Amino acid sequence: MVIWIIGLSGAGKTTLASQVVERIRGLNGKVVLLDGDLIRALFGNDVDHTIEGRRRNAERLSVLSNFLAGQGIHVVAAVLSIFPEWQRWNRENIPGYYEVYLKASMQTLLGRDIKNLYGRAMRGEIANVVGVDIPFPEPGHPDLVIENESDLQDLGELTDRIMSLAEVRQALGCA
């Protein structure tokens, strides 16, 4: 099973994904957390944040998720996922693929922007920021859409919503 959590920077993807991973581990599930930034680091930061660099990282995340799932390891991926063609590839090639769109308004994201990523991009100080100068296409057919305008310290209810998906419960053997 692969739970693919999509959202802009600051939406809470990694925080939520970490909680989902802990919940799966509590059910004695073999699970790994994949994060776009961690995969970049794992491969020596050999891709940049341009569209092409992001495309290559997206391919790595999808192929690696498919490989791990094929080995009986559940995957929870926290990714920007700006390429509909890779979302489509995931659906066509990864058995037990579930897409969750973690949606937050730009106002909320700006309030959570501890790295000042959006602020610097809006002032023209940096480029290649998704949601500012790189478009963010909302996923076309997610299995679950979660509005996350709440405090990132308490994502228990959002974790419950992901874990309550009948398909996820079945994949974990607790349906």
Just list the catalytic residues.
81
The residues, ordered by sequence, that sit 6+ positions from 75 with a Cβ below 8 Å of its Cβ are 1, 2, 3, 31, 32, 34, 65, 68, 69
Residue with tokens 């037990």: 96
Q: How far apart are CA 134 and CA 171, in angstroms?
A: 35
Question: Does residue 51 contact residue 57 with C-beta atoms inside 8 Å?
Answer: no
* CB 102, CB 7: distance < 8 Å: yes
> Which run of H or of E encompasses 58?
helix 51-70
3-class secondary structure, 97: strand
What is the distance between the alpha carbons of residues 175 and 13, in angstroms, rounded to a whole number? 25
